[in-house]
A and B are shown apart, each in its own frame.
Chain A
Amino acid sequence: RKEVEQDPGPFNVPEGATVAFNCTYSNSASQSFFWYRQDCRKEPKLLMSVYSSGNEDGRFTAQLNRASQYISLLIRDSKLSDSATYLCVWGGTGGFKTIFGAGTRLFVKA
């Protein structure tokens, strides 16, 4: 089992839809998680940090379920500009071992 697993997708949704991605992790001893977005042939950019049960920023909500060892990302009212790959990151236990998931691809269509 990979340490961080994501459904690669792609998820194809219409504009205005709500879409959710899950990310599971095998090591429960992490104090931090992150969601990044990565556009095609670009660098990853931080979308959201999660240090407790969750976080919300506008149309984006992250929920952390420590008991089941997954973190989700919910996008409401999808925009065309949300089309990207979303990377889940297990932040580790205070050292330097950050683990990136392979990403979930999202296409938002008009």
Chain B
Amino acid sequence: NAGVTQTPKFQVLKTGQSMTLQCAQDMNHNSMYWYRQDPGMGLRLIYYSASEGTTDKGEVPNGYNVSRLNKREFSLRLESAAPSQTSVYFCASSEAGSTNQPQHFGDGTRLSIL
């Protein structure tokens, strides 16, 4: 009964390093999302994938890239990490291709960039 699984759970990077956050869901959902959450702010959408084979920018896409590898997996890449990208990152998925369906979240990746 995994739901949405994110790896890693924690990561510390140096400025300029790159890394990929992994996300997989086993609920056969069509849509997947990447958010970041900063203190005092709501979750902000970075990128989303409406369905396998498509990706689109959200509210704060700069500095990130994504890949929808297949229906289950949606990865987020930081090409050159910056301290401003220190945050908690959540992956989510939803059944249908619209925001009328609730999203189900993974347990997050806590990323610190020094």
- Answer whether residue B103 sits at the interface, using C-beta atoms and an 8 A cutoff: yes
B100 within 8 A of A: yes
**B98 touching A43, Cβ below 8 Å:** no
* A44 surroundings in chain B (CB, below 8 A): 43, 90, 105
- CB of A1 within 8 A of chain B? no
Chain B: interface secondary structure? loop
Instruction: State whether B99 touches A102 (Cβ < 8 A).
Output: no
Contact A96 B56 (CB under 8 A): yes
The distance in angstroms between the C-alpha atoms of A10 and B8, with both chains bound, is 31
Q: Count B interface residues, CB 8 Å.
A: 25
Interface size on A, residues (CB 8 A): 26
B105 and A94 contacting across the interface, CB-CB below 8 Å: no
Q: Mark A4-44, 1 if CB is under 8 A from B, else 0.
A: 10001000000000000000000000011010000000111
Q: Name 27 A/B residue pairs within 8 A (Cβ), A-sorted.
A: A31-B100, A43-B105, A43-B106, A43-B107, A43-B108, A44-B105, A45-B105, A46-B102, A46-B104, A87-B42, A91-B99, A92-B100, A95-B99, A96-B31, A96-B33, A96-B56, A96-B58, A96-B97, A96-B99, A97-B45, A97-B99, A98-B103, A99-B42, A100-B35, A100-B42, A100-B43, A101-B42
